[in-house]
Structure 1
Amino acid sequence: MNNQKGLTLVELLAAITVLFTISGIIYGVFFSFNNNYDRISSKNSMDQNANLILAAIKEYHQKNDSYWIYYDDSDKRAFIGKDSADTLLGDTSYDLELKAGYPAPVSINNIKVDTQQPLTVQLNLTDKKGQTYEVETTVKRY
């Protein structure tokens, strides 16, 4: 009687090949999911930051007769204030590009905003990975 128990080398190699193929597919899906999560999370963070910046501009536009907006093109930062632009808009984790004007947004350096006219604002945020978020809106006083 010939009773052999166990696996042949070919069967073992076939099982290992199938195992590596399946694990490779699983890891590929996992890393793809992780990269998409990071990208979407960054976009949401930029969206929240842009909304905070626009909310600050809208608040100044609603509560004051005039205010100042200063944009530093070399540092990619914007500031706002009633008598002088001294309050940072947004945070320093993003590069910011700000254009504003009546009726169309133009590149600015330091402008005094008259709140009797609608102000068109174009805002571009760029994160450290190069992702961008762009929004354009008009702020008016009611």
Structure 2
Amino acid sequence: MKKYILNNRGLTLIELLASLVIFSLIMGLISGLIINSANHFEVTKKKVSLSQEANLILAQLTRIHQTKSTYIIDYNYSTNEIKIDGNKVENSNIVVKLSRLGQSDYKEVANNVNLKVSSRKPLYIEFSLSNYEHSEPYKVKTVINRY
């Protein structure tokens, strides 16, 4: 070890190039990992945001279903606007698309819906949420009972 330290020749050009290549490979792998992690974080953040919005909608719907004997769900197919007992379910960044709704089973929604819901029967509902930045929708399919 002392011989190498006392040797004043320095590094050869090949040693310097080899160390630069190894350093470049390691930095390329690390930067790729960081960029991939950041992209994955953004996608996960958008999915979690959609999941939270779905939970808010379901909580509102469950609360109404458990406290009222009847209520009305209005759905405008062309604008994807949902109203529960006249209250609009909306968020400017999110599109809620109702795909199935019914009191005895899931029924396809192909146009406007004005459903009077009796809370004595379960409510079968399926909808999807999407935002303008994330193309993959978050789908929810559930049954809401009074008790």
**1:92 aligns to what?**
92
Q: How far 1:27 sits from its partner (Å)? A: 0.8
Query: Which residue of 107, 119, 134 corresponds with 2:123?
Result: 119
Gaps of 5+ in 2: 1-6
Distance 2:90 2:60 in 1: 9
Matched, 1:76 2:46: no
**1:10 aligns to what?**
14
Distance 2:10 2:19 in 1: 13
Instruction: Return the TM-score normalized by structure 2.
Output: 0.82
Instruction: Check whether the contact 1:125–1:134 (CA below 8 A) recurs between aligned residues.
Output: yes
1:55-75, CA deviations, whole angstroms, 9 ceiling, x for partnerless residues? 111111111121111122222
Distance 2:20 2:77 in 1: 58
Instruction: Check whether the contact 2:124–2:144 (CA below 8 A) recurs between aligned residues.
Output: yes
| Length, aligned pairs only | 136
1:18-50, CA deviations, whole angstroms, 9 ceiling, x for partnerless residues? 111000000111111111211222111111111
**1:42 aligns to what?**
46
Distance 1:42 1:78 in 2: 22
Percent identity of the aligned residues?
Answer: 32
AA paired with 1:105? Y
SS at match of 1:69: strand
Q: How far 1:90 sits from its partner (Å)? A: 4.4
AA paired with 1:79? K
Q: 99-108 or 14-23: which moved more?
A: 99-108
Query: Which residue of 2, 21, 24 corresponds with 1:20?
Result: 24
Gaps of 5+ in 1: none
Q: How far 1:120 sits from its partner (Å)? A: 0.4
Distance 1:39 1:137 in 2: 24
Instruction: Return the TM-score normalized by structure 1.
Output: 0.85
